[in-house]
Structures are given as C-alpha cells and as structure tokens.
Structure 1
Amino acid sequence: MAGWLDELPSPADVALRALGELLVGVADRPPKSENAERFTTRCLGLPSYGAVIDEDRDLNGVTRVTVALALAELIEEHADVVEIGPGEYTDAPAWTQVEIGNRAYHHPQHLQAAFPAGTLLSEIPCVVRICTRTSALNSPEVTAFVARDHQAGARAVLDRLMARGNVLHPYRGMVCRASLDHGLRLQVIDLPASLTRETVVVDESVWHEIDLGIIAVRDRHELLNRHGLGARRGVLLVGPPGTGKSAVSVVIANELVGVFTVIYVEARAGAELLTAVVEEAQRLGGPVLMVLEDVDLWCQDRRTGGSGGLAELLMAMDINPDARILTLASTNDAQTLDAAAIRTGRFDSIIEVNYPDRPAAGRILSALLAGLPAGAVVDTAAVVARLPEMTSGSDLREIVRRAVLSAVDGDDISTATLLAEVGSGRYRATAPTGAYI
C-alpha cells in the first residue's frame, strides 16, 4: 500500500493519506463515556433502562453517614467482583472522609456500585447508588436498582443497608449536639470534665429523681416494659438562671457517656425536629440521655399565643413509652410551659433548683477556691455572710473570677479581695436603666 501511494501524483497521494488517517482515527476512537443509566442497564444485564425498577430511601444528616458506612463495608467485602460506576449522569465516583469523635471514617459520597448475582441477592445482580451531597436541587438518598420482576429484592437490599448502618452507628456512646442543618445533624461535642456531684451543689432531691430515671432506662427497662409500665422517663429542672441546671446535665452526661448516648438538642432542632431526634435515639438501640436546655425558648403555653414547638414536643414525648430514653429538660419558669407538656408520662418529675442557702453557698465557694493559690486560707463563712439574698452559683463563680483577676498575678487572693468584690456588686451584669438621647 505504501509503495502504491508513493507512485501516485502528489495531490492524490496527500489526499488519500489524510483520508486513511481520518478513517483509522474514527475506528480507534474510544467509546462514548458511560452515564448512570447505561452503567445500570449493562451491569444488570438488561436490554434497556425501561426494564429497570428502583427503590429509594431519603437520608438525613445522620443516615447519610451510617448508610454510607454500611455501603463502604459491602464494597470492601466484595471488592473482587464489585464494579464502581458514576453517580447521576456521568459524575465521577466520589468518596469522602468525616471526623467523628477521635476517629476518621471514609465512605462513598456519590457513586454507583454494581453487585453481581450471589453477592447482595442470591439469584440476581443489583446496583446501589448513593448520594450524600445536599444542594438546592438534590437531597441525600440511597437507591437500589434491579430488574422489574425483582422489586422486593431492591427493598431487601435497602433494609439491609439501613439495619447495618444502625449497627455501625458512629455516634453511639458519644456526647452529641442535635442541630437543624438540611434536616437532622449530629455533631460530637466535648463537655467540661471538672463538673461532678461534689462540685455542683444542688439539693439531693435533684440527684435522686434523675437517678430514678437512670435506673429505669439502664437497669430495669425490661421489668417495667414487661408489665406495661414503660421505661421511658422525663425530668424537668425548674429554677432561676445561674442555679446549676445546665451544670447538672453536664454532670449526668459525663457519668453516663459510653453506656448512654447523650444528645443535646438545640432550640431550633427541638422546635422542628424533636420527633426525628427521638426516632434516631431509638435506632441507636441502647440507653439515651436527651437534654433539652431552656425548653421554654421554643415551647410555651398555647394560651399565650407562643406555642412554637409545643406540638413537636408533645408528639416526640409520646413516641414509644417503652423506649430507653431519659429526657432531662430545664426551664427558668415552668409557668410559661403548656400544661399538656409537663404532665406525668411526659415529664414524670418536676424538680426545683433554687438559689443556694448559706451552707450550700459555702460549699460552692469552697469548691471554686479549691486548688487556687491561698484559696485554702480564705474565710468562706465571712464571705458567705456578706452575700445578698438570691446569690446564684454562677454569681459565686464570677466573684471568685474577679478576685483572681484583681489579685497580683493571682497569687494573693484573700478573704479581703473576695469581700471587696461582693461589696462592689459588679459580679452581677446589671443593665443600666434610663433612656439615652
């Protein structure tokens, strides 16, 4: 062929060589990139996408992690036969990593995984697509594709993923904050480790009522549920600001974390997603401490017109009375709450956390001074005697803080410096009165 071309006149030679190169290039062109539909059809061995049927499940901020971890486990288990394809359209397969507590979890973010017959389903192949991204046009979901005659198989695959995700739940045994972020979102948080029952001084009845709830949820749930009494408990702490309600929840959370999963519920999440939080708590499968701080911010008496999240609270508190959930809530004023919210069966105990009396104030002051330079020689009785009525634990903390800051290098804190701070009254952040023109 080369010799024949060489004998041709120049214009014909150039034209035929160019045409040959063009034809060879067309023949060798790589096939058109596979989109999601072509990948699914090919891996299922079907003639067209019309022969495919799918089942899908919406994912929230928690299940988009747990289900993705379950899928990652299946991909690794069948790595020798599984085929990874694009997500929607021709989006490249994508993986991501999330930090939960002190551990990093690697899982698929946006891809399709084709499992041959005999892996997920005994007789037929299955394709699983997951998308954990959230955008204005897309919401997280997981989808299983099978041939039209095997829809029950797709449902079984999704059930398996959801169940395995609950087993792998990375938030179990952690202290989390539940927030509203395109649905429910959990985030691991740290709590002060210095707060204990010895350093948080409240009436013993507070600890007693909370301990009853702990016993019900942790130790005697089977007995209570077997006799139809219900293991779920609710405790409402009522009292003025600064008296230790939040500190009590921290103490209990630190005591229970590990055995319990602790979920602090933000106000917006409580008003709109408390039922989702309770449902997630049930999926965890173990005892859960659910903390609702300042519940009056979002759940008020319907007669005042400020019911806010009342309906959400009532619905959430009535879900499954057998659940192993201890709810610890707090409010500055129980009178602002609707009567339906604080009845027995929702909140079984309503405990007042009031201003400390003189002996309790002395114990709080001693705990705050413990370990400080010269703190052991402070005459706490003299300081407590000068305290005005309705001095809270947080007021005492600020008195000590100001004394430390006022002292030279913090080394000469004394009875005199503490008394000076008490006398100044500046430890209470009081807003000025009057009008400014």
Structure 2
Amino acid sequence: MPITDNQTLAPPGGGLNAPGAPRHPISDVGAYIDELPEDARAGLRALGELLVGATERPPRAETADRFTARCLAVTEARALVDEDRELNPVSRLTTAVALDEWITQHAEEIEVGPGEHSYPPKWTQTEIGGHLYRHPQCLRVHFPAGTLLDDAGCVIGIEARQSMMRSAEVSAYVTQDYQSEARAVLDRLSARANELNPYRGRALRATYTSGLHLQVIELPTTLTRDTVIVDEPVWREIDLGLSAVRDRHELLNSHGLGARRGVLLVGPPGTGKSAVCAVIAAETVGEFTVIYVEARAGEQLLTAVVQEAQRLGGPVLLILEDVDLWCRDRATGGIGLSELLQAMDIAADARILTLASTNDAATLDKAAIRTGRFDAIVEVGYPTRTHAAAILTSLLAGLPGADHVQTAPVVAALPEQTSGSDLREIVRRAVLATGETEELTTAALLAEVGSGRYRATTPDGLYL
C-alpha cells in the first residue's frame, strides 16, 4: 500500500529510517535527484541505468590527442614526438594561410580533427587589402604517408589564438623515428608562409595592440616631387638609400659594406618632412613594402618590426615620423633609445631603408644618429622665396581665378620663416573667405598674409 506522512516503516537495523522516522512519498523523481549530493546523484543514475538495462553510453567525442594517436597508429600520444614553433602576430596569419593551401592541395587524402580537447576544428577569415583570406585557427590535420612525408604520416596542429593562457604555435607530430623530418616539414611550412605573405609590397601601419599589429593603409596620391618643394639634396640623399637597398645590395653586401641605410630628415614643423615621406612611400610601394611605425610600436617593438621586415624579403621602407617623440637623449631619460639602437643594429645586410624625421636632432642621443644607423642627416628647412613661389603656384593650381593671381607680391609679403604648411593655410583661408560665386584674387591672398591669422599662436595673458 502507499506510504503516507502518518505512516512509518522500520527497516531491520534502524539507521536513518529507524522506528518512528517519517517516510515521505517521492512525487518528482527528477527534483529529488537534483537535491542529492553530486556523488549520490551519479551513483543513483548508474543504478537506474543498470536496473532498466541502459548500460550503453553514447561515444565520447574524440580529443585532439586521441585523434593524433589514432591517425599515427600508436596507443597514446605520449609515444609521439612533437616539434613546435611559436607564431608571432604576423606568422599567425601567414602560417595559417600556408597550411590552408596544404589542406586544399591534399583534400582527398587528409583527415581534419579537433584542435583543442574535443572541440570541433575552428576556421576564421581575415581581410587584408580588400582580399578575404579564409584559414584555420585551431585544429589538427593528419597528412598520411605520401603527402608531406614519403614513408610516414604526420599530424600538423595549429593554435593561432594568442592569450595569457595559451601561446600561438604550430606543431608537427610524428613517430619517434621521424623527428628530423618533422623539423623539415615545419621549415617548409614557414618558407611557404613567407612566400604567401599577404603584407608584402603593401603600405602598412605598425601599431602596438597586445603585441605587433600590421594594418594595410592607403597612401595619398596627390603628393609628388613636383608638388612637394624641398631642396634637391633631400631627394638626392633619399635616392642614394633607395638605390642601396633596391639595386646595389648584392655588390655592397658581397664586399661587407652593408646595404641597409638610414636617412634622418631634420627641420622645423610644417616644412614638409611628412610630405617627403609620403612621396617616397607612394613612389616605392609595390616594389617596396612600406611600413609606417607608430610611436608606441617604435618605443616597444621596433626590433620586432625590423625582424618582420627581414622575413618579408625584398626591399622595405621603414618610416619613423617624429622619432624624437619616443627616442631622446639618454641624459633626459629616453624611453625608446635602447629599442632604437638595437633595431638599427640588426642585419647590416638587410634590404631596409629607414626614413625618419624629427623637429630637433639635438634631442636625439648621439649614438642613435651616428653613421651606420642614420647615414645621412638632411635638413628640410623653411622654403626660400623661389621655393615659396613654386609651392604657392602648386597650391593654387585648378582653383577658380588662380590663372589671374600674381604670386610675386604675395611671396614678397610673406614674413621670414614661412613654412609650406603656412602657405597651405593662407590659400585655404583665402578660398573660404571668397564667396562661392567669386574667384580667388591676389588681394584676397595678401589680406590673409597681412592678418597673420594663418599661424596658430597662443594668446598672451593669464586665464583662470
């Protein structure tokens, strides 16, 4: 008969259900089991499965190590040899792209397995310069004998995710007799990754984002040597450096002279240093890989940038604008000085031209600007009257009324030390002051020169 709250059962031996202890009916078996301790729940469920004959469990998902052991015909993964290589922020992509090529090439023979524990293989995609790359992120792939190795199978594993808990790496698993072959496989993968590097020949910006990060950028196309007016020695020194790393590197390196060059542009703000860098970048991109290095990346990771530039192969143009922001004389506590010195001393035979700029070379440590690091220090000063007229003519080109503007009186009215950026602002203000239906005039330009408003100056006085 059913047990109620008013009835008791006294099993032999007493215990928890001793005589007089109430026995309550179990109306919800699931809720009852959920309230039990974990070990009691596991035991009760196992007993229930045995009583109803449900003794078979669904098969567990295969782990990465079990997948590797099965594919290479060993009892457990500990019987294998694992050769691995760490991946830096750039090779995390390039290696994955190269591995994807191998996977596609041997699609009929390979087997893809989990990359971590028993989780499914992970793929992702990365867009670079308008091209979308689909590539593995975390998985293992079994390449049977006759694919990567003639006489043995090999499992390639990649973990391209970097975090504080894990390192990005690529691994080759083989039986113990094939360890040297595993190294050779990773060497081949690394070489192919370099060949497929999607950053080569592009304009890039190197930033510090939890490590080195490269981003494809667009370069201005309006700046040329005809529109950026500077003294001829500036172009001559830069062309000398370009020739060294592009055309004469074999001759220089064969005689131990070193092809790597450095040019430092020095001059006041607004005189065209950044414009010169932009012109050279636009001229050389494609044949060169152009890398603009932001201040924090230069201060922390310039050595890593240079090492990555070496792996790219071919000529590289490194641009360090306003290098004095992060690299100063050691007496003033230059934070990035040691990083700059170390980076500039890497591989004298590398095909790298470093083009840097500063407003004041005196703030830089003498060790940084010696020959062998920066081989030429070139002044980009305020334009002469002749150069100012040429800059003004270039800025006016195509504007309504520009054909009737007389540049000579405007240039004659300019104060000393008028920079190219000052001239640009004079023209901009004159255009904005002219009505939409009116044309630019010489008088409008002279009015802007006379006002002095084209120069941003700090007002005198104390403001509370």
Please give the TM-score of this superposition, normalised by the length of structure 2.
0.87
User: Does residue 259 of the first structure (1) align with residue 281 of the second (2)?
Assistant: no
Q: CA deviation at 1:324?
A: 0.8
User: Does residue 352 of the first structure (1) align with residue 372 of the second (2)?
Assistant: no
SS at match of 1:259: coil
**Contact kept? 1:294, 1:331, Cα under 8 Å:** yes
**Contact kept? 1:61, 1:181, Cα under 8 Å:** no
SS at match of 1:408: coil
Q: Deviations over 1:158-178 (max 9, x none)?
A: 211111100101111101111
Match of 2:330 in 1: 302
RMSD over aligned Cα, in angstroms? 1.8
CA distance in 1, matches of 2:241, 2:271: 22
Once the two structures are overlaid, the 10-residue window that deviates more, 420-429 or 75-84, is 420-429
Q: Deviations over 1:318-353 (max 9, x none)?
A: 111111111111000000001011111111110000
| Counterpart residue type for residue 86 of structure 2 | D
User: Does residue 167 of the first structure (1) align with residue 203 of the second (2)?
Assistant: no
CA distance in 2, matches of 1:280, 1:415: 52
Of 405, 410, 415 in structure 1, the residue corresponding to residue 432 of structure 2 is: 405
**Contact kept? 1:261, 1:289, Cα under 8 Å:** yes
User: Does residue 150 of the first structure (1) align with residue 156 of the second (2)?
Assistant: no
Q: CA deviation at 1:410?
A: 6.8
User: Does residue 285 of the first structure (1) align with residue 302 of the second (2)?
Assistant: no
Match of 1:435 in 2: 462
Match of 2:149 in 1: 121
Match of 1:246 in 2: 274
Of 45, 64, 67 in structure 2, the residue corresponding to residue 39 of structure 1 is: 67
Match of 2:12 in 1: none
Of 243, 249, 254 in structure 2, the residue corresponding to residue 226 of structure 1 is: 254
Change beyond 3 A, Cα 1:52–1:377: same
Once the two structures are overlaid, the 10-residue window that deviates more, 308-317 or 132-141, is 132-141
Match of 1:12 in 2: none
Match of 1:84 in 2: 112
Q: CA deviation at 1:135?
A: 2.8
Total equivalences in the alignment: 417
Match of 1:11 in 2: none
Change beyond 3 A, Cα 1:411–1:151: farther
Of 338, 343, 347 in structure 2, the residue corresponding to residue 320 of structure 1 is: 347
**Contact kept? 2:145, 2:153, Cα under 8 Å:** yes
SS at match of 2:257: coil
Match of 2:137 in 1: 109
| Counterpart residue type for residue 446 of structure 2 | L
Match of 2:395 in 1: 368
Q: CA deviation at 1:152?
A: 2.1
Q: CA deviation at 1:273?
A: 1.2
Alignment of 1:4-19 (within 5 A): none
Gaps of 5+ in 1: 1-17
**Contact kept? 2:49, 2:55, Cα under 8 Å:** no
**Contact kept? 1:134, 1:182, Cα under 8 Å:** no
Change beyond 3 A, Cα 1:19–1:196: closer
SS at match of 2:142: strand
**Contact kept? 1:53, 1:147, Cα under 8 Å:** yes
| Counterpart residue type for residue 32 of structure 1 | R
Match of 1:336 in 2: 363
**Contact kept? 2:85, 2:170, Cα under 8 Å:** yes
User: Does residue 388 of the first structure (1) align with residue 415 of the second (2)?
Assistant: yes
Q: CA deviation at 1:434?
A: 2.7
Q: CA deviation at 1:141?
A: 1.7
Change beyond 3 A, Cα 1:211–1:26: same
Match of 1:8 in 2: none
Change beyond 3 A, Cα 1:330–1:49: same
Match of 2:13 in 1: none
SS at match of 1:121: coil
Alignment of 1:60-71 (within 5 A): 60-71=88-99
Change beyond 3 A, Cα 1:21–1:391: farther
| Counterpart residue type for residue 140 of structure 2 | Q
CA distance in 2, matches of 1:135, 1:411: 60
SS at match of 2:436: helix
Name the larger-Rg structure: 2
| Counterpart residue type for residue 364 of structure 1 | I
Q: CA deviation at 1:20?
A: 11
Q: CA deviation at 1:412?
A: 2.1
User: Does residue 414 of the first structure (1) align with residue 455 of the second (2)?
Assistant: no
CA distance in 2, matches of 1:152, 1:111: 23
CA distance in 2, matches of 1:120, 1:146: 11
Match of 1:423 in 2: 450
Q: CA deviation at 1:53?
A: 2.4
Match of 2:226 in 1: 198
CA distance in 1, matches of 2:162, 2:430: 50
| Counterpart residue type for residue 309 of structure 1 | G
SS at match of 2:157: strand
| Counterpart residue type for residue 106 of structure 1 | R
CA distance in 2, matches of 1:359, 1:79: 67
Match of 2:4 in 1: none
Q: CA deviation at 1:26?
A: 5.1
Change beyond 3 A, Cα 1:255–1:90: same
Gaps of 5+ in 2: 1-47
Q: CA deviation at 1:31?
A: 1.4
SS at match of 1:157: helix
Once the two structures are overlaid, the 10-residue window that deviates more, 134-143 or 188-197, is 134-143
Q: CA deviation at 1:97?
A: 1.4
CA distance in 2, matches of 1:410, 1:66: 55
**Contact kept? 2:299, 2:335, Cα under 8 Å:** yes
CA distance in 2, matches of 1:412, 1:144: 71
Q: CA deviation at 1:196?
A: 0.2
User: Sequence identity of aligned pairs in percent?
Assistant: 65
**Contact kept? 1:68, 1:108, Cα under 8 Å:** yes
Q: Deviations over 1:338-393 (max 9, x none)?
A: 10111111111100000111111111011001011111211111111111111111
Q: Deviations over 1:249-279 (max 9, x none)?
A: 1101111111111111111111111111111
Match of 1:272 in 2: 300
**Contact kept? 1:61, 1:182, Cα under 8 Å:** no
**Contact kept? 1:99, 1:105, Cα under 8 Å:** yes
